[in-house]
Amino acid sequence: MVPGNWILVLSVILLTYAAHGCHDKCLCYTASKTADCKNRGFTEIPARLPSEIQILQLQNNRIWRINQNAFTGTPLLKILDLSNNSLSSLAPGAFQKLRCLKELDLSSNSIIRLPETFGNSTGNITLLSVKHNKLQKMERVLLESLPNLKVVHFKDNPWQCNCNVFGLKLWLESFLYRGGISDGIICSTPGIRKGKDLLKVPYELFGACPLTTAHVHLASIHHNSFEHRSSLKHAHHNEHGENSRSNCEPKPKPRPVSLRHAIATVVITGVVCGIVCLMMLAAAVYGCAYAAITAKYHRDHLAPVRKHGTPEEKEPFDSSLA
Q: pLDDT of 220-271, one tens digit each?
A: 445 555 454 545 445 444 544 444 444 444 444 444 445 566 677 777 888 8
Amino acid at 72: T
Model confidence, pTM: 0.63
Mean of per-residue pLDDT scores for the chain: 78
Average pLDDT over residues 102-121: 93
Evaluate the omega torsion of the peptide bond into residue 190 and state whether it is cis, within 30 degrees of 0.
yes
Average pLDDT over residues 41-60: 95
CB 70 within 8 A of CB 90: no
Using pLDDT thresholds of 50, 70 and 90, give the confidence band for residue 6. very low
CA distance 96 to 68: 7
Specify the DSSP class assigned to residue 5.
H
The pLDDT value recorded for residue 302 is: 55
The pLDDT value recorded for residue 16 is: 38
Residues in the chain: 322
The pLDDT value recorded for residue 246 is: 40
| Alpha helices (H) in 200-258, listed in sequence order | 213-237
CA distance 76 to 263: 60
Amino acid at 48: R
CA 254 to chain centre: 18
Amino acid at 240: H
28 φ, ψ (degrees, to nearest 5): -115, 135
The pLDDT value recorded for residue 67 is: 85
pLDDT tens for residues 195-204? 999 999 887 7
The pLDDT value recorded for residue 248 is: 40
Q: Decide which of 293 and 17 is more confident.
A: 293
The strand pairing partners of 105, in sequence order, are: 81, 129
Using pLDDT thresholds of 50, 70 and 90, give the confidence band for residue 17. very low
Average pLDDT over residues 128-144: 95
The pLDDT value recorded for residue 55 is: 98
Triad 78, 130, 150: Cα angle to 5°? 55
Around 58, how many Cα atoms within 13 Å sit in the side-chain half-sphere? 31
Q: Which of 81-95, 231-245, 283-297 has the lowest mean pLDDT?
A: 231-245
Pairing of strands 127-129, 103-105: parallel
Triad 116, 147, 120: Cα angle to 5°? 50
SS3 assignment, position 48: coil
Q: Is the pLDDT of residue 316 over 50?
A: no
CA distance 80 to 70: 12
CB 238 within 8 A of CB 244: yes
Amino acid at 220: S
Closest CA to 80 of 132, 34, 32: 34
CA distance 209 to 186: 20
The pLDDT value recorded for residue 262 is: 63
CA distance 5 to 195: 72
